[in-house]
Amino acid sequence: MPEKDTLHRFLIEDTAVRGEWVHLDATFRALRANADYPPPVLRLLGQALAATALLTATLKFEGSLTLQVSGGHPVTLLVMQARANGSLRGLAHWDSEAELPEQGDLFGPDAQLVMTLDPGQGRERYQGIVPLESGDLAKALEGYFRQSEQLPTRLWLACDGQAAAGLLLQEMPRREDSAAPRDEDAWRRLEALTDTLDERELLDLPVETLLRRLYHEEGVRLLEAEPVRFQCDCSAERVEAMIRGLGAEEARDIVRREGGIEVHCEFCNARYHYDAIDVDTLFREPASVTHPKGEH
């Protein structure tokens, strides 16, 4: 059985090609539990989850990465967020009245994929936008790396509704001070070998077995495992900051009209409720700690 909720990096010896493999079990189940996703949307969500985990390991950053597809139909929104510490969360919205194809494009021709890197600590965010060809996340992300990073990159993604997995290959630029001869055929050869991989092998095989089966004539160095997990960063503190941002007058007006302020986190299903006393406490000077009536 493959390692659960684990990401491995690996190197193909004597080439400029590196790779990553990820398998998501409890992480995927936690994400799946937050909504009653139909099977086609669930598979898409798992593929996006695996892709985001792979991207987080590829792009060097300390903040957060957000992968978002919007403007499509019948899936109208897909959001995945990851942090450098291995935490992941995500969600999808879809038209519940539409007929969902079991296979094929769930986004339609008008969707676009946006990837946002936020390095945190007040540094400038970077955003890349690429077309979503035929609703294929892997091809869209390969296009992103080709255009933005100028690095040949391939992704293979799989999800069976119970777990998600992915594999990434990337050709790194040659170091100018390298005296070693370059294997000019390596990328084409390794890409062709990996194209023989099917979804069941990606989901079912341990990483050592998988790499041996694909690259048995190559030298592969498997690096130490890195854990990944589902984790939502919503909190009472963040919700309170949002309510303060409304201003006292607007917040109190919502309480008068609605009987309270209810905030629902779609990522983890946490609910935060603030009544009139909670809101009054929020806007006292100096600010006090409130005790919202919330649950996860």
pLDDT at 244 over 60: yes
- Whole-angstrom CA distances from 217 to 17, 24, 205, 224, 259 are 15, 28, 19, 22, 68
Domain at 236-295: CATH code: 3.90.1280.10
Average pLDDT over residues 121-149: 85
Q: What is the pLDDT of residues 83-107, one digit of tens each?
A: 888 899 999 999 999 989 888 899 9
Spatial separation of the C-alpha atoms in residues 124 and 212, rounded to whole Å:
41
Grade residue 173 by pLDDT with cuts at 50, 70 and 90: confident
Among the listed residues 65, 97, 93, the one whose alpha carbon sits nearest the alpha carbon of residue 81: 65
Distance from chain centroid for Cα 194: 22
CATH class of 6-176+185-230: alpha beta
To the nearest whole number, what is the mean pLDDT of the chain? 88
* Domains of the chain by residue range: 6-176+185-230, 236-295
Residue burial 108-147, b: 16+ Cβ < 10 Å; e: rest: eeebebbbebbbeeeeeeeebebebeebbbbbbbbbbbee
Residue type at position 35: A
pLDDT at 294 over 70: no
What pLDDT is attached to residue 59?
74
CB atoms within 10 A of CB 179: 5
Do residues 46 and 97 touch, judged by C-beta distance below 8 A?
Answer: no
Residue 84 pairs with which residues in a beta bridge? Answer: none
Spatial separation of the C-alpha atoms in residues 278 and 271, rounded to whole Å:
15
Average pLDDT over residues 142-166: 91
Among the listed residues 125, 68, 86, the one whose alpha carbon sits nearest the alpha carbon of residue 7: 86
Comparing 175 with 141, which gets the higher pLDDT? 141
pLDDT at 47 over 60: yes
DSSP H stretches of helix in the chain:
26-32, 39-58, 137-144, 186-194, 199-204, 207-215, 236-246, 248-258, 276-282
Spatial separation of the C-alpha atoms in residues 179 and 99, rounded to whole Å:
58
Average pLDDT over residues 281-286: 75
Strand-strand pairing, 17-24 and 226-227: unpaired
Domains 6-176+185-230 and 236-295 share a fold: no
Distance from chain centroid for Cα 158: 14
Q: What is the pLDDT of residues 187-212, one digit of tens each?
A: 999 999 999 999 999 999 999 999 99
Q: What is the pLDDT of residues 228-237, one digit of tens each?
A: 999 888 888 8
